[in-house]
Amino acid sequence: KGGFMKELTLNDLAQSRGPGQLHDSKFMSAAEKSKVLKHWEMFLRSGLAKGKFTKALYEHLIQHCSFIAHYDIHGFYATYFESGDDTRHFLSQFDTRKGMPKSIEYGMTYWLTDEDYCDINTEMCRIAWRYIPALELKAKNDQRHADFAHAEVLLKKHGLYLHGKEVTSENNVLCGANTSSGKDP
């Protein structure tokens, strides 16, 4: 007979430590954890502004949240916050709407269940919950605009131009559109 282990939820983790209690761990004091949480919320509230992405927050993410460093703070920011798709991927690590989130780099939940850092990391998820829907929408819109800009560059490279929903050639000839019904194919 195999043992049955209940999957932990964020609520289980929060109840096991008490609401809002941060504890000292070997490499991070409760005061340092509190500082990182303040930086986390400022960063999220700012819409992920580069100027609000602090060294303390970056170091916590790479040391205790299972993110790789991406060379340095600037490389990390460029990796996760300059592309809407990448931003949404980053946010998914803190999104509890579909259960316990896994590390996007390693695919496991240890970053969230580790005894030394589950206090701060579950609190990061709790804080992020308020901001994720709006940040995801912004990231989706940013990605859409970036994709359209990239598409226009590629079309122009081949002598084609985007006008509303139609693509025309340099000679203003309609390309690949269904002109008989006025509806998209």
Q: In this predicted model, what pLDDT tens digit does every residue of 149-159 receive, in sequence order?
A: 999 999 999 88
User: How far is it, in rounded angstroms, from Cα 50 to Cα 38?
Assistant: 16
Q: In this predicted model, what pLDDT tens digit does every residue of 91-138 receive, in sequence order?
A: 999 999 989 999 999 999 999 999 999 999 999 999 999 999 999 999
**β-strands 166-169, 160-163 pairing:** antiparallel
**7-16, 66-75, 136-145, 147-156: which has the minimum mean pLDDT?**
7-16
Is residue 17 exposed (0-12), middle (13-18) or buried (19+ Cβ within 10 Å)? middle
C-alpha dist (Å) from residue 167 to 54, 152, 160, 170, 183:
44, 10, 6, 10, 14
pLDDT of residue 174: 64
User: How far is it, in rounded angstroms, from Cα 112 to Cα 118?
Assistant: 5
Note the pTM of the prediction, 2 decimals.
0.79
User: How far is it, in rounded angstroms, from Cα 153 to Cα 162?
Assistant: 10
The 10 Å Cβ neighbour count of residue 93 is 22
